[in-house]
Chains A and B, each alone.
Chain A
Amino acid sequence: MLHITPAAVDPVKVSLPLFIERCPAGFPSPCADYADAELDLNDYCIKKKSSTFFVRAIGNSMNDIGLHSGDLMVVDKAEEAHHGDIVIAEIDGEFTVKRLLLTPRPGLQAMNPNFPTIYPENLQIFGVVMAFVHKTRGGE
């Protein structure tokens, strides 16, 4: 009986990788290991992107809180509204900027001395204003 056996695989064959990357011989940049991403204003203003909406403020400027007509408001819909927060409230089918009061009873304080603080029975809050963006040059 003739047995056919496969030739032994060469056990000493070792493959060595060839690096195509060049190795610079000069002094490496001392900053290379400390490279950080540049600062992003989005990270500063926006806590949660998927629930954030931009809303334009229109009306009498409110110097007390630094909000001017035409400013951009960064509004987070998912954020829990606390006492004293600036919020976007829905009144008579319109968005309005108000300060939320929870004590002594839930109410919306006007941002304008010509308007009274109101205490609606059904308080509809769209979201919490997290930041204002006011442009000082070039208008919009």
Chain B
Amino acid sequence: MMFALADVNSFYASCEAVLNPKLRGKPLIILSNNDGCCVARSAAAKKLGIKMGMPWFQIQQMSFPEKVYAFSSNYSLYHSFSQRVMSHLEELSPRVEQYSVDEMFIDIRSIDNCMDFETFGHQLRAHVLKGTGLTIGVGMGPGKVLAKAAQWASKEWPQFKGVLALTPGNPRRTEKLLSLMPVQEVWGCGSRISKKLNLMGIHTALQLARANPTFIRKNFSVVLERICRELNGESCISLEEAPPAKQQIICSRSFGERITTYEAMRQAVCQYAERAAEKLRGEHQYCRHISVFVKTSPFAVNEIYYSNVATEKLTTPTRDTRDIIAAAMKSLDRIWDDGRRYAKAGIMLNDFTPNGVSQLDLFDEVQPRPASDALMHVLDGINNSGLGKVWFAGRGIAPEWQMKRDMLSPSYTTKWSDLPVASIR
């Protein structure tokens, strides 16, 4: 086996600059939901000392030698570019797994019969850059964990020029790299696991690779044992081309400003319920469990933190937005507490079945609605057409709690009104 991991350099910031030449090479940061803190930086912004997670109000007060451009997260733009990168990788190598919005695993076994792995890596890089304007880094290894390690190293040491292959034929190189890699950088080793490993005297990836797998499984989990084996060049985690069917759908947001009235909260939960139901239909599933949660901010001073969740269980599985809204409202009524300043709410759908078949209950209040599927089909059809939206009145018309995205860039590739402009000269 041989895997490559391709990841896009400063993905969000790079997407913003492709169709806005004014931003090339400039310090550029992307803010989280509600324009809270910095979640992505261009190379120039990193150089200015702007750190990941820095609050936006703090950055605004700092003085910089040049203008720092800030943008709200434009997810539709990033999604569009993510799909484009994916298609470009698939053109050169058909088996690609999308691991996250900016990371893709690629099956590259037997490529070395035609060319060097690193030559192929540079080809991937050139191909993606040419078609999308985005630069990727490529790490390669006999397993996913080693591919990720190579990708980490390709960023850490510029002399690799963004492409590094750890091959079974060169064990010395792998060993050298793992000895320089802190264990918390290993894929799947979170901060909690790393701390425990450090206490056991395991500080580098090489030490983890040399540990006894049985010992690791006993003290941690089978997952870490697999990682341990992968570090030794044994491929244990396979490529997942088709994402596994979802077991749960969560739709939640932090509010642009605190919600204090019941009416506003009902509107918010109604909107999340609509979105969750739409996602559920996209997955071709029906659900039986509907939970709603609300919380106040844990950081607010002079306020007692409140967080609660309530669940409605239906006897008949559903994917009708009306049923899901009704259940969500029932749940909300049970946990709503007057006089608090809510910062976040969300809805969770659980207990999925692939079809709506179930034993009907003679005495159940909620009976399946006639022509439900047809109505939902029309609803989704209108909302996905890009021409307009229809929604349930429970959501209100102009909610003031909507996510704050004041510095949104145009959706250059997904909206006719937002196309980039070129002057005829």
B is a partner of A: yes
Which residues on A are within 8 Å of B, measured CB to CB? 48-51, 53-62, 67, 69, 72-73, 77-78, 88, 90, 93-98, 110-112, 115, 124, 126, 140
What are 13 A-B pairs with beta-carbon distances under 8 A?
A50-B83, A50-B84, A50-B91, A51-B130, A53-B413, A57-B421, A59-B425, A61-B424, A78-B131, A97-B422, A110-B425, A124-B21, A126-B21
| Residues in B neighbouring A95, C-beta threshold 8 A | 21, 420-423
Q: Interface 1/0s, chain B 388-415, versus A by CB < 8 A?
A: 0000000000000000000000001100
| Residues in A neighbouring B297, C-beta threshold 8 A | none
Q: If the complex has contacts A49-B87, A94-B21, A94-B22, are A57 and B132 also in contact, measured as CB distance less than 8 A?
A: no
* CA–CA, A60 and B132, complex, Å: 29
A77 touches B424 (CB 8 A): no
Q: If the complex has contacts A51-B84, A54-B419, A56-B420, are A93 and B131 also in contact, measured as CB distance less than 8 A?
A: no
A58 touches B421 (CB 8 A): yes
* CA–CA, A49 and B419, complex, Å: 16
B22 touches A93 (CB 8 A): yes
B210 interface residue, CB < 8 Å from A? no
Q: How far is the CB of B245 from chain A (nearest CB, A)?
A: 27
Question: Closest A-chain residue to B423, C-beta based?
Answer: A59
Count of residues in B whose CB is under 8 Å from the partner chain: 24
B24 interface residue, CB < 8 Å from A? yes
Question: Closest A-chain residue to B420, C-beta based?
Answer: A55
Say which residue of B19, B24, B420, B422 sits within 8 Å of A93 (CB atoms).
B24
B203 interface residue, CB < 8 Å from A? no
A55 touches B422 (CB 8 A): yes
B295 interface residue, CB < 8 Å from A? no
Q: 4 nearest interchain CB pairs?
A: A51-B131, A59-B424, A93-B22, A50-B87
| Residues in A neighbouring B88, C-beta threshold 8 A | 50-51
| Residues in B neighbouring A55, C-beta threshold 8 A | 419-422
B19 touches A97 (CB 8 A): no
A98 touches B421 (CB 8 A): no
A97 touches B419 (CB 8 A): no
A58 touches B424 (CB 8 A): yes
* CA–CA, A95 and B83, complex, Å: 24
B425 touches A77 (CB 8 A): no
| Residues in A neighbouring B131, C-beta threshold 8 A | 48, 50-51, 77-78
* CA–CA, A60 and B422, complex, Å: 12
Q: If the complex has contacts A51-B130, A57-B424, A98-B425, are A93 and B21 also in contact, measured as CB distance less than 8 A?
A: yes
Question: Closest A-chain residue to B22, C-beta based?
Answer: A93
* CA–CA, A63 and B279, complex, Å: 48
| Residues in B neighbouring A56, C-beta threshold 8 A | 419-422
B424 touches A112 (CB 8 A): yes
B133 interface residue, CB < 8 Å from A? yes
Q: How far is the CB of A61 from chain B (nearest CB, A)?
A: 7
B425 touches A78 (CB 8 A): no
18 extra interchain contacts, Cβ-Cβ under 8 A, other than A50-B87, A53-B412, A55-B420?
A: A48-B131, A50-B91, A51-B84, A51-B88, A51-B131, A56-B419, A77-B132, A77-B133, A90-B24, A93-B21, A94-B21, A94-B423, A95-B422, A95-B423, A96-B423, A97-B425, A111-B424, A126-B133
Residue from B130, B416, B424, B425 whose CB has the most chain A CB atoms within 10 Å: B424
* CA–CA, A54 and B80, complex, Å: 13
* CA–CA, A77 and B185, complex, Å: 36
Say which residue of B87, B421, B425 sits within 8 Å of A112 (CB atoms).
B425
* CA–CA, A60 and B425, complex, Å: 8
A96 touches B130 (CB 8 A): no
A97 touches B421 (CB 8 A): no
